[in-house]
Structure formats: structure tokens, C-alpha cells
Amino acid sequence: MQISLARQVALVTGASSGIGAGSAKALAAAGAAVVLNFNSSAGPAEELAREINDSGGRAIAIGADVSKEQDVERLFAETLDAFGTLDILVANSGLQKDAAAVDMSLDDWNTVIGVNLTGQFLCARAALRIFNRQGIRQGVSRAAGKIIHMSSVHQRIPWAGHVNYAASKGGIDQLMQTLAQETSHQRIRINSIAPGAIRTAINREAMEGEKEQQLLQLIPYGRVGDVDDVANAVVWLASDLSDYVVGTTLFIDGGMSLYPGFRGNG
């Protein structure tokens, strides 16, 4: 079945690399006009926008720190200026600042919660305001708007040495479900994706050689994920093919969240 997002506008935060860049590319390939948000890496986001435009799509790159309210307001205003509407938000920006809890600075706690959780709230709020004003765009989508929160297996699996990150992802689960409960009667669809170990440029080192073998013990399906494993699901969740999917988290993790250590054990 062919998925078409023609005449729809998607905003992807954290789109300069990894899952964000892959999702933006896939949304554009499905026909959506795409806003590529970046924070510090303007170059790669602008390059990707160029690539999409050169291949017949429509894309622009906009810088904004999603943890800052004013930046987020400007990001959404510039999105409307450029494309006139918004149908899909992929709230993807996220970062890690790892340390044992006893050594973790308040700054590193606040930075991670600020981007990963507050940032997703600010972006969702801005998108919801647009969706409310606009309602269902007849002939474009059955929903009045779609939000996809990028979570992690660590919304479920505790992760020693990463308490700020795990807490932010646990928070996304309730953020997403509460927003979905609050808005689904308006035909707004909000869901999350919880990726497991996905190979990206940023984490390549942790997924090579001996490290990869160690990691594979946590993945019953026996391989590390690719960006496309997630990007394909983003496109599906953004499309009417998933029109009855509301307030749920799709784990894309090769079975990592099945607690494989319990196989033949416990």
C-alpha cells in the first residue's frame, strides 16, 4: 500500500541528524512539505533541506532551541509563514548527559529534562493550538493533526547512569497519554515511538566490535536497528493508515523491552 502525505506539512525537531533526519527524509519522500528544526547544527539541516528540494520535495531548515518557549513560538510561526499550515509534528529532539546519580550536576539534570521533556511539551502545545484553529482539512487527512513523540525503550526500562534521560522518557509516556486523552475528541492523534538501540552517527562507537556484541545480548531479534526502522513507522503513524491509533507507544526495539534476560531465567 502506498502512503501519501501530499498537501501535508510536517515539522521535525532535531532533524539535523540521526532519527530526526531520517524521519524528515521519509516524510518528504511520502509527499509532505517538511520543516527541519535544528539547534546547533545548521549546516547538516540546511544540506538535507537542499537535498529534499533538489529531488522535487519541499523543505526548509529553521534553528530553534526547543527548551526555550520563545524559540518554540518563533519556530511554529515561521513554519506557518513558510507553508501556511501544520499537519504533523514529530517531537524528536533529545540528548543524553550521562553520569551516576551521585555525580550528576543539576545543570545536566535540567538540560536533559529541558530538551527531552519540556521541549516536547512546548512543541506539542504550539502544534495543538494550530490544530485547534484549523480543524480537519477535508481531503487532506482524516485527523485534525498528528503528533509523534520520540520516546525510548527507557520510558519502560530503568537505565543506571542515565537517570535524567530515563526520567525524561518516562515523563514523555504520561505527557503523550494525557495529551491524547485531552485532545482525541477533537480528532487529533497523538502517539509515541519508543526506539531501542538504533545505529546513528552519534552512537556508532557504542555499537561497534565488542560493544556491539554486548548490546546484542539485550536484543532478542539479533540486530541493531537502523534509522529507517523508525522512520518508516513515523510515516505510518503520520498517515491515515493508522487513523484509529491513538495514545499508544510503538516499541521499535527488536524485542529489547521484552526483558530478554528472563528467558530461561527468573
Interatomic CA distance for residues 66 and 259, integer angstroms:
33
Residue with cell 515511538: 193
Nearest distance, CB of residue 88 and ligand BGC, angstroms: 22
Q: Which residues in the chain belong to E strands, given as ranges? A: 9-12, 33-38, 59-63, 88-91, 145-150, 188-195, 249-252
Residue 203 within binding range of ligand BGC, rule CB under 6 A: yes
Active-site hit among 165, 221, 244, 259 = 165
Nearest distance, CB of residue 152 and ligand BGC, angstroms: 3
Residue with cell 540521526: 18
Q: Are the beta carbons of 89 and 191 closer than 8 angstroms? A: no
- Output 128 or 153, the one with its CB closest to ligand BGC: 153
Identified binder of ligand BGC from the candidate list 15, 75, 197, 227, rule CB under 6 A: 197
Residue 134 within binding range of ligand BGC, rule CB under 6 A: no
Only segment of 18-26, 66-74, 148-156, 176-184 that touches ligand BGC (CB under 6 A): 148-156
Identified binder of ligand BGC from the candidate list 13, 16, 152, 249, rule CB under 6 A: 152
- Output 152 or 164, the one with its CB closest to ligand BGC: 152
Interatomic CA distance for residues 223 and 241, integer angstroms:
27
- Output 20 or 145, the one with its CB closest to ligand BGC: 20
3-state secondary structure of 56: coil
- Output 25 or 154, the one with its CB closest to ligand BGC: 154
Distances (CA, A) of 147 to 40, 43, 116: 24, 26, 15
User: Which residues form the interface with ligand BGC (CB under 6 A)?
Assistant: 152-154, 196-197, 203
- What is the set of active-site residues? 165
